[in-house]
Structure 1
Amino acid sequence: MGNTARLLPLVLTAAALVPLPNHPTATEPPAADSSYREIPLDGLSVRAETEPFGMVGITWPDGVRGVTAKVRVQRDGRWTDWQPLRVEDDHGPDPGSPEGAGRGGTEPLWVGDATGVQASAVSAAGTPLSGAKVVLINPGVRSSDADEPGEAAVTSSRAPYPMPLMVSRKRWGADERLRAHNGADCVRPKYSPTVLAAFVHHTADRNDYTRTQVPGMVRAMYAYHVKSRGWCDLGYNFLVDRFGRVFEGRYGGAQLPVLGAHTASYNANSFGVAVIGNFEQTAPPAALLESTARVLAWKLDANYRSPQATIVLGGSRLHTVSGHRDTKATACPGTKLYAELGWLRQRVNALMGGSFATPIYQYARKIGFRNVGQPFWGEHPTRTGRATYFATRDVFHSVATGTYSTQGAFRTRYRRLGAGSARLGLPITDAYQVTGGVRQKFQRGWLLWDRRDRQVQVVYGRSQ
């Protein structure tokens, strides 16, 4: 693919028109031993013996900058050394959040099983913070926390890189009711027009967590982002642990360009992958790097983006695969992980095969990307073939039918039928003019538009 990406002109699309993948809305109740507690941080510091908790963070009223925060905890009757908490000033509440919902804060820190906390937070002038709180979260334990995912499926080399195996929100125990905590506008996910780039983060957490602790860590992060920071949902689109397991982050469909809360003004048209741990002084494990590369390869390949290109996003020229620190002065994703971004780009390029060669991509290129628009729902498998939903056309492919698209009123009607439905089948022609209207042939029927009644009719059967 080289350094000149085949970038498509940005065309806004209406997410509401796209039939979304099925998202589970049912949720299990929180674990019986889970809890969330806030302690006022009056003065320069606070110290308290508490009920057991696993994650800690400090928040303060939004708009305060230059905060320095640190914490130590009590485990097994002993106090740990003081540990600084990472402060990111470029995060804020999601668009549409209620006025005053957002709070400034540190990144949350996983501390395992602690029963006491001492915390300190001061302004840039060294003075106490008015309205600061120490947040203690116990995510509880679920029987499913010890579950391990199976093997990922292998697809044809002509298809984009396959979606890696992923621990779903349901599987890691997301309480979907929590998305309504900051208002009804947070319940429905928000989408960008497309995916143009990826940002790599680290959670600035501990690196000695166990496999069974990770689902609880993700649940605690989710609660902190929503309850403590005032966001609609978990900020990151995906998370990867040190064992190489991938976790679905923000709700809305992993395959779609879900608008996250990970890189401030660069959230639109990008996705955020957070690796769980602190990689400022520790090198990231090989399993973590490989799984991160696979997430990046899947999302970028599906949307026809080169990992070795640069792009203008948020007014800045950035690599398609960038680190958080490329957008502002921050240590994230840690010096040791940031040094691996070059390797990540090369590895992603190798996984993607170095070029785009799918029939759908070739079809869109032949018609012209200015005519089909941006990919919204990137190339993905369907029940009978593959599809990419662009801004103005949905393109379908199977070995039996070839590659054709639906657009305009035909696209709208076909989606209502359930695109690729067993009864009508896939398109076997593009729409074409006939006397009195327009028609398009499918495997087991037709869509017809008559100029007289200006309605799209469905006719089943092979002859017309």
Structure 2
Amino acid sequence: MRGILASSIGVTCAAALALPLAPPATAADAEPAPTAEAATRAAVTARPDVPGSTRSLPLRPLARDRASGAAVLGLAPRAVRPFSLLGVVWDDPATELHGRVRVRTRATGTGAWSGWRDVETHYADHGADPGGAEGAADGVRGATAPLWVGESDGVEIRVLPEPGEDVGEGEEEGSGGGAFGLDESGDGESGLGESGLGEPGVVEPEADEPEDGDHAGVPSGLRLELVDPGEETPDGPRTGAMSAEATAASAANSALAPLGALELPALNDERTRREYLALRGAELTGRQRAEPYIGPRPAIVTRRGWGADESLREKRFVYTGKVKAAFVHHTASGNTYTCAQAPSLVRGFYRYHVRSLGWRDIGYNFLVDKCGRIYEGRAGGVAKPVKGAHTLGFNTNTTGIAVIGSYGSKKPSSSAVKAVARLTAWKLGLHGMNPRAKTYLKSAGGNLYRKGKKVRLNVISGHRDGFNTSCPGGKLYKKLGTARSTAARYQGR
């Protein structure tokens, strides 16, 4: 989500679909048979984790941009297995997608198609530090931000590289206008029937490699990722025996809550102080023991509470040193979710980060929904200095907090801002950091600061303070001053 984004580019708006897509064919849509190892693991461990799936579909040439002659990649409207979150990935994480990605989806049940929606194309700045083990691992991919679309069973996507023409005046998003700026007589297939309506019998094909062509500004290996975060029931998959991975993730919080806890309860000032002394007592000076500046611990939904499938992530936990700063982000996934759906979004981000992008775990240390509920992110213990993959160049000695939603033009809720203040007052307080102060961090490299440069930053910073990006969105960024002063007040400063 760079501050200097690719210019707005016109994308074809295919005629509105008047006919429903056929349901996916059973044979063509069947999941591959599980490996013997996976089957054995499933039989041996009664996993309490919420199931889910990821479907990867290659994007193909569909038409030509009239201005540049470049091929427009995408997928014609098609029926797919239900999913709720999507994104686009490509082979080389160091390559950027210069262009515009637009999608529309069909709601499960109603069969209604959404209008065209933009997918944020700049996401490389959310990730592991350059040159580190996680960032250089095999299988790491470039990607757009994830987009939450709700439960859907149909999709259409267009990727138009720069340069291109904007949609003509009067053509609104989702209006089903003509193919402005496109020449559908090109070599690519349009995926539209003779009537210009969605072809009713189209289903998703078997995954294969995209066709070669002139795709200026578009990385190779472009694929659409459709993520089903899995279902969640009150007494369903989270009950019963925990797997070894789930046990380890829960045990990382054993000093704060019983094994298998779905939530760490909020504590008052006195109980937080006692817990702080138990956690850090041996390291503290007499004054720090007598007058600790730490906010009361807020309630935090654990990984088990939001239904993490712990078999997806790498088993080991990676820690950094003292947490000297918190970076605040937004997920750029849209604001259409309800608070009841927030655990599904967290599961979707987790699966997207691990399965689609190749990261070792979800990138953020914490997430906050619009109702102010806080979720444990990367595994390893919420009171411990877990190293995340959230602010490229500044993942060492920091923690990453993502507010779920897009806040470039929409104000964050007061509940979300208050939750950020409560969380930082506690988390930074564990390490003796003043939320209103500044600190020095060493850059691991990025587009604002060279590798090795010591940078003076706010203890509570926005993502854009460490990287040239629009994250966490202008409206949320303007609220960070309020979060700092409120967090300091919670600490008793």
TM range (shorter): 0.5 to 0.7
Measured at CA, do residues 337 and 91 of structure 1 come closer, stay the same or move farther in structure 2, by a change above 3 Å? closer
Aligned-partner residue type, residue 124 of structure 2? D
1:30 aligns with 2:50: yes
1:83 to partner: Cα distance: 1.7
The structure with higher relative contact order (CA 8 Å, sep 6+) is: 2
Q: Does the Cα contact within 8 Å between 1:123 and 1:129 map onto a contact in 2?
A: no
Partner-residue secondary structure (3-state), 2:396: coil
Counterparts of 2:364 and 2:409, CA distance in 1: 23
> Which residue of structure 2 aligns with residue 333 of structure 1?
472
Candidates 87, 96, 99, aligned match of 2:133 = 96
Deviations 1:87-121 (A, max 9, x none): 22224457434743110001111111111112233
Q: So what's the TM-score if we normalise by structure 1? A: 0.65
1:108 aligns with 2:155: no
1:336 to partner: Cα distance: 0.7
> Which residue of structure 1 aligns with residue 86 of structure 2?
56
Candidates 147, 158, 163, aligned match of 1:120 = 158
Give 1:376-455 correspondences, 5 Å limit: none
> Which residue of structure 1 aligns with residue 456 of structure 2?
317
Q: Does the Cα contact within 8 Å between 2:268 and 2:297 map onto a contact in 1?
A: no
Partner-residue secondary structure (3-state), 2:317: coil
Partner-residue secondary structure (3-state), 1:350: helix
Give 1:19-168 correspondences, 5 Å limit: 27-31=47-51, 34-43=52-61, 44-47=73-76, 48-62=78-92, 63-68=94-99, 69-75=101-107, 76-86=110-120, 87-92=122-127, 95-97=132-134, 99-124=137-162, 127=216, 128-144=218-234, 152-156=266-270, 158-159=291-292, 160-168=294-302
Candidates 299, 309, 312, aligned match of 1:178 = 312
Counterparts of 2:316 and 2:159, CA distance in 1: 35
Aligned-partner residue type, residue 54 of structure 1? S
1:257 to partner: Cα distance: 0.8
1:344 to partner: Cα distance: 0.9
Partner-residue secondary structure (3-state), 2:87: strand
The range that moved more, 73-82 or 339-348, is 73-82
1:286 aligns with 2:414: yes
Q: So what's the TM-score if we normalise by structure 2? A: 0.62
Measured at CA, do residues 143 and 338 of structure 1 come closer, stay the same or move farther in structure 2, by a change above 3 Å? same
Segments of 5+ residues of structure 2 without an aligned counterpart are: 1-44, 62-72, 164-214, 239-261, 274-290, 444-452
Aligned-partner residue type, residue 283 of structure 1? K
Counterparts of 1:335 and 1:103, CA distance in 2: 27
Deviations 1:315-345 (A, max 9, x none): 3221111101112222211111111011111
Larger Cα-atom Rg: 1
Deviations 1:127-167 (A, max 9, x none): 35421110001112111399996962213275522321100
1:208 to partner: Cα distance: 3.1
The range that moved more, 250-259 or 311-320, is 311-320
Give 1:261-280 correspondences, 5 Å limit: 261-280=389-408
Counterparts of 1:353 and 1:203, CA distance in 2: 31
1:235 to partner: Cα distance: 0.3
Measured at CA, do residues 266 and 26 of structure 1 come closer, stay the same or move farther in structure 2, by a change above 3 Å? farther
Deviations 1:355-375 (A, max 9, x none): xxxxxxxxxxxxxxxxxxxxx
Counterparts of 1:229 and 1:145, CA distance in 2: 31
Counterparts of 1:151 and 1:256, CA distance in 2: 17
Measured at CA, do residues 145 and 239 of structure 1 come closer, stay the same or move farther in structure 2, by a change above 3 Å? farther
Question: How many matched pairs?
Answer: 322
| Percent identity (aligned) | 40
Segments of 5+ residues of structure 1 without an aligned counterpart are: 1-24, 180-185, 355-464
> Which residue of structure 1 aligns with residue 324 of structure 2?
196
Q: Does the Cα contact within 8 Å between 1:325 and 1:331 map onto a contact in 2?
A: yes
Measured at CA, do residues 322 and 72 of structure 1 come closer, stay the same or move farther in structure 2, by a change above 3 Å? same
Counterparts of 1:105 and 1:350, CA distance in 2: 39
Q: Comparing both structures, which one devotes a greater share of its residues to strand?
A: 1
Q: Does the Cα contact within 8 Å between 2:103 and 2:157 map onto a contact in 1?
A: yes
Counterparts of 1:103 and 1:145, CA distance in 2: 36
Backbone CA RMSD of aligned residues:
2.4
Partner-residue secondary structure (3-state), 2:60: coil
Counterparts of 2:235 and 2:421, CA distance in 1: 25
> Which residue of structure 2 aligns with residue 377 of structure 1?
none
Q: Does the Cα contact within 8 Å between 1:54 and 1:112 map onto a contact in 2?
A: yes
Counterparts of 1:102 and 1:77, CA distance in 2: 35
Aligned-partner residue type, residue 302 of structure 2? S
Q: Does the Cα contact within 8 Å between 2:392 and 2:467 map onto a contact in 1?
A: no
Q: Does the Cα contact within 8 Å between 1:144 and 1:171 map onto a contact in 2?
A: no
